[in-house]
A and B are shown apart, each in its own frame.
Chain A
Amino acid sequence: MEKFLWAFLIGGTICVIGQLLLDGLKLTPAHTTVTLVVTGAILGGLGLYDPLVKFAGAGATVPISSFGNSLVKGALKEFDSTGPIGVLTGIFQITSAGISAAIIFAFMGALIFRPKG
């Protein structure tokens, strides 16, 4: 039960940070998203994001910052097994499911539906 509470609080905090970037610092939606991704990547690189995931579960994996973490994790993993070129080949390894799904479902959605506005 405690895990749900932490997921709610940590996930909520990340979203509040995003909202503050959007409204307070007047970042564009794209800049806000990118800021969160880069922050997640830096935290992942420093080895701080995975403990957060262990602690808050979906509260840390669902927000977009988790995507930055996954990018770095994939790159580091491939770097370990194949050397420097692994940074290039590994970066989308873990995230490829998410990216491919986004492209494929968006394509299927565009085939079936018309935008309403």
Chain B
Amino acid sequence: MLQGHQTWVFESKPTIISSAAVGGPHEAQGPLAADFDLLHEDFWLGQDSFEKAEKKLQEQACETAIKKANMKKEDVQFLMAGDLMNQTVPSSFAARTLGVPFLGIYGACSTSMEGLALASLLVDSKFAKNVLVCTSSHNAASEKQYRYPTEYGAQKPPTAQWTVTGSGAALVTDHGEGPKVTAATIGRVIDMGLTDPFNMGAAMAPAAVDTIEAHFRDLKRDPSYYDVIATGDLGRVGHRIAGDLLKKHGLDIPEEIFTDCGILIYREDQPGVLAGGSGCGCAATTTFGHFLNRMRKGELKRILVIATGALLSPMSYQQKESIPSVAHAVSIEL
């Protein structure tokens, strides 16, 4: 049901019956390592290209989530998946392996929550019983796609972020036990004219702020309703900007509940990660791994995840376009 301007409230409260997170070598060294179902030491996952490695990450995340729910892939009506590659091939190719009816989605790094919102909509409207959501990113594949190949040796400023090598999957169903998806706020595309692809956090922060404000306005809620409010991958720079902007707009989220998946996933002193994690796999693994695990343990009762996506392409950047951004918020409650 639509509430307010841009928020869906799911009356049947679709359940996340199971979820899975798969990561790479850098995620294994991070503080959330224990929340991953599978961690790979090999950046290539035994494949002969990074793109194939990313496909493998998705396959493993999907298969693990289905297995954890004691289901078979035939029980899943639809798969919704997305990633950062051209034409989202890792998702389409993983869907080829799984053989589940497939809807490809793209919202850059906001795709995980876009998918979770749409999957919940399908289940809530009874157009599906079980929907699998999956997103992924691979550090080396993304560097190749968006920035410079590592061999080029280009320097990065400290505002740059490290793309997560990982995939997160969640199985949304109309039955069973587990955290429930209760509401989702779909964000507008916001562009403040920033053009620096090495400072995506700053470009995405205004989009996160817009969606957070819309969420609380539409639902007439206060931030204290939640135990955790996490942005997707703003990193240390963007998260601070978002916090300051929210304060300026009169929405003060207490620091102890306001966090960011990109900050949580790596240690501050981890080499190379600079301002923190990013990528489709960042919010996905942190939410579907870390946060949902904490909810299942009873440590968290209500969380709001605002996944943020920078909607640039290498082409738009080369043509000197600014970086438009979007953020989608999903509320998960026990």
Contact = CB atoms under 8 A, between A and B. Distances in A.
Contact of B140 (A28, A29, A115): A115
Given A26-B196, A29-B148, A117 B155 contact: no
Contact of B44 (A23, A26, A29, A114): A114
A115 B140 CA distance: 9
B151 A23 contact: no
Contacts of B148: 29
Contacts of A114: 44
Interface residues of B, number: 14
A116 B150 contact: yes
From DSSP, what is the main secondary structure of chain B's interface residues?
loop
A1 to B, nearest CB: 32
Contact of B150 (A26, A29, A117): A117
A114 B45 CA distance: 13
Nearest to B26: A117
Contacts of A42: none
Report the contact-size class of chain A (Cβ under 8 Å from the partner).
under 10
Interface in A6-52: 22-23, 26, 28-29
Contacts, number: 20
Interface string A80-117: 00000000000000000000000000000000001111
A22 B155 CA distance: 9
Given A29-B148, A29-B152, A115-B151, A23 B143 contact: no
Nearest to B150: A117
B319 to A, nearest CB: 14
Given A26-B196, A115-B140, 9 more contacts: A22-B155, A23-B157, A28-B154, A115-B150, A116-B43, A116-B150, A117-B139, A117-B143, A117-B150
